[in-house]
Amino acid sequence: MKDGPGTTYRVRLTNEPDPNVTERSAPVGKSGRAANNARLAALKAEQARQERKRKVMLAAGTVGVVLLIVAALVIAKLTSSSDPAASGAKALDPAVATKLTTIPAATFDTVGVGSAVIAPKKIDGEAITANGLPRIVYVGAEYCPYCALERYPLVLALSRFGTFTGLQSTNSDPADNAGVPIYTLGFHGSTYTSKYVSFSGYETVDNTKVNGVYGKLDTLPDADQALLDKYNKPPYVDPPGGAIPWIYFGGKGIMNGAGVDKALLEGKAISDIATSIADPTSEVSKAVVGDANLLTAQICVMTNNQPAEVCGSSGVKAAAAKLGQ
């Protein structure tokens, strides 16, 4: 007798009474025992076949699960470019973030303009606001070495008017700078709050190429893309235009390029850069803090010189005299 997998079988091999009949069966002869033995062998063979089938199905299922996991990992790798971590970006060390966003006023005043190499250009452009506050729009990319340079003074300047959360630690693409990365801050995924200005920082792509293409990060809203298209070309910026980093100061000023000599920061750790920035006698501080004073002076044009303790400081006044030159 045969049934499905897992069924138990009872075979009467001797002249055991059958509970379904009232009379005792005749003793089993040699031919009966042979038949019983044959049936038993057939049952054992069937059970063995079912067990082999079960093991094969179990093994196939395990392989299928493994293949699904591998496929999921591959897909995640290929589609993760919108995640800050995909480019190696990670949360900025809180101690470093504090050092960079709380530079003493005395350091700004000591440095003044310092050795900053360019200043924002005054323009009469479209005044843009958000929640009643004048807007600053930054457009850059993680791979870009000049964006890496300019984020430091921009963060220093904006931190005098408000507060950042979620700043990233990242680096430029070494291949875009003779094999040397510039370790820097990143705006992707960060937020900024202020009662004086609104800030939008866009990192359009990351710093890692896959099949020759950088991964997408931030997408500009149509209105901000229109600003970029209009004001990132002559006469608003130097020919040929189209460069990043690009910063739009609410229709009052514009800047593209970096005000810091890249030789000062190439290959240096963010923590070391932060320490140097805090020392007004260092060459790094003279460049970065000097640039930050110029950006601060441009922001003060937008805020009607508020807050007074910032916009009226000696370092910012010295920088304001350089705007538009």
Cβ density class 93-121: b for 16+ within 10 Å, e for less = eeebbebbbebeeebbbbbbbbbbebbbb
Residue 89 — pLDDT band, cuts 50, 70, 90?
A: confident
The predicted pLDDT at position 114 comes to 97
Least confident of 61-65, 144-148, 214-218: 61-65
Question: pLDDT tens across 152-185, in order?
Answer: 999 999 999 999 999 999 999 999 999 999 999 9
- The answer to whether the CB of 244 falls within 8 A of the CB of 146 is yes
Contacts of 185 (CB under 8 A, 6+ apart): 92, 100, 151, 152, 155, 167, 168, 169, 170, 270
**What global pTM score does this model have?**
0.74
The predicted pLDDT at position 7 comes to 31
Please tell me the distance from the alpha carbon of residue 66 to that of residue 64, in angstroms, as a whole number.
5
Backbone dihedral angles phi then psi of residue 268, each to the nearest 5 degrees: -90, 145
How many percent of the chain have pLDDT more than 90?
71
Tokens of 266: 């190439």
Question: pLDDT tens across 43-62, in order?
Answer: 677 777 777 767 656 665 65
Residue 12 — pLDDT band, cuts 50, 70, 90?
A: very low
Rounded mean pLDDT, 84-94: 73
**204: three-class secondary structure by DSSP:** coil
Residue at token pair 């591959």? 74
Pick from 188, 164, 225, 194: nearest CA to 302: 194
Please tell me the distance from the alpha carbon of residue 102 to that of residue 159, in angstroms, as a whole number.
7
The predicted pLDDT at position 62 comes to 56
